[in-house]
Amino acid sequence: MEQPNLSYIYSMSGGDKDFEKKLINIIKAEFPEEKKTYYKNINSDNFNKASENVHKLKHKISILGLEKSYEMAVDYENNLKKASTVGRKDFDAILQLITDFINTL
């Protein structure tokens, strides 16, 4: 499985360390709350809200350089819109991967 990284953040920052730190701190603050909300909705079978949560989370997936995971999230989001949880196991694994990564930052 691909690994999260900060390459995209570094490329956007142009070497501005304050910008990098701010963006990383935003991810560290927002991701756990967005993940918590996603699990609340998916565990309540609220597929429409869960698809909206996945939509928000996939931006963090992209920022962290997870291209294949982003595509999996797109597919999963579309499945949720059809009340299908196909792809949930992979998406949950992506969330855990990101959680582990941001806990090291």
Q: How far apart are CA 45 and CA 83, in angstroms?
A: 8
Taking CA 53 as the corner, what is the angle to CA 59 and CA 76, rounded to the nearest 5 degrees?
80
Token digits for 80? 């949720």
Whether the CA torsion 36, 39, 44, 46 is positive or negative: it is positive
Q: How far apart are CA 32 and CA 98, in angstroms?
A: 10
The model's pTM is 0.94
Q: What is the pLDDT along the chain (105 residues), one digit of tens a residue?
A: 799 999 999 999 999 999 999 999 999 999 999 999 999 999 999 999 999 999 999 999 999 999 999 999 999 999 999 999 999 999 999 999 999 999 999
Confirm if 8 and 65 have CB atoms less than 8 A apart: yes
